[in-house]
Structure 1
Amino acid sequence: MGTKFKGSKKEIQALDSFIKLKRATESLSSRVTSEFSKLNISESQFGVLESLYHLGPLCQKSLGDKILKSTGNITLVIDNLEKRELVERVRDNEDRRFITIYLTDGGKKLIESIFPDHVKRITNEFSVLTSDEQEVLGKICKKLGKREEKA
């Protein structure tokens, strides 16, 4: 179902495309992350664990930027992971404001156990697209994501 907005052809096309993109993203995300609730982790918590696993220790701000979370939100996500002993905060000795987040052994064990199935779910979801279609989709998403605001 597209927009019911009565505007110009350009506006209707843009709104219809946005609605389709948004619905596809929400639907896909729901299917891919459905297993997280069984593990009692949120999508944001998974993002932190996955980032630390693949990139190594990160400062809290960089981690928030990486998973697209605000300073306040990333603090809460890390608090909850720290309570479960999946990550650990380490303050810099020189600048106590600088906090680096590390994956604990328990966090590493958890992400190593769940990441392969996560990759399988994503691969399965994208199997409806050809390799070329996935390539085009990637380019379109990158173009939309990096679009500069016009003055």
Structure 2
Amino acid sequence: MSQYAPQLKAFTVLHRATNASQEVTKKQILTSNLNLTEFAVMELLYHKGEQPIQIIGKKVLIASSSITYVVDKLEQKGFVHRKSCANDRRVTYAALTDLGHQQIKAIFPAHEQKIAEIFEILSNEELEILTDLLKRVGHHASQI
């Protein structure tokens, strides 16, 4: 038996739980005529307001090379528009259009409900503990 068996088991369980959770939310998101990255960008803009395009990729965990394509697709659908920064010509913001705001406002409650269903087996105290533990693991992993 490996000396790292508990860590390997925890990693495997975390990975499987993440995949299962993502599969459930993916099915729900795809019914809205958006793919996962489009939804993630729209959700970010819905909750945080306009964002520099260069920052969006980091916040929704997609490659910076892909973010322009995703914003282009959302712009073609009429959900997002670009705004130039008044102070810095190198910066371009993405912002929801009125149609985009209506779309995400209509579909976000179902997404939120699906996430609540995933975690309904845990108490609020257990959720706090889980969140704290995952933050610790994530911060530690980013330092390695």
**TM more than 0.5:** yes
Deviation larger for 93-102 or 12-21? 93-102
Q: Measure, in 2, the Cα distance between the counterparts of 1:73 and 1:146.
A: 25
Residue 13 of structure 1: how far off its partner (Å)? 1.7
Q: Identify which of 40, 47, 55 aligns with 1:62.
A: 55
Q: Please say if 1:140 is aligned against 2:126.
A: no
SS for the counterpart of 1:96 is coil
Q: Please say if 1:17 is aligned against 2:10.
A: yes
Deviations 1:1-50 (A, max 9, x none): xxxxx5x32x2221111111000000011112212222221111111111
Match of 1:98 in 2: 91
Q: Which residue identity is paired with 2:63?
A: S
Deviations 1:65-109 (A, max 9, x none): 211122111111111111111001122355332101110011000
Q: Measure, in 2, the Cα distance between the counterparts of 1:36 and 1:76.
A: 19
Deviation larger for 12-21 or 109-118? 12-21
Larger Rg belongs to: 1
Match of 2:71 in 1: 78
Q: Please say if 1:123 is aligned against 2:120.
A: no
Q: Measure, in 1, the Cα distance between the counterparts of 2:136 and 2:87.
A: 40
TM-score of the two chains, using structure 1 as the length reference = 0.87
Match of 2:31 in 1: 38
Residue 60 of structure 1: how far off its partner (Å)? 0.7
Q: Which residue identity is paired with 1:143?
A: R
Q: Measure, in 2, the Cα distance between the counterparts of 1:135 and 1:93.
A: 41
Count of aligned positions: 143
Bigger relative CO (Cα 8 Å, ≥ 6 apart): 2
Match of 1:3 in 2: none
Structure 2 residues not aligned, in runs of 5+: none
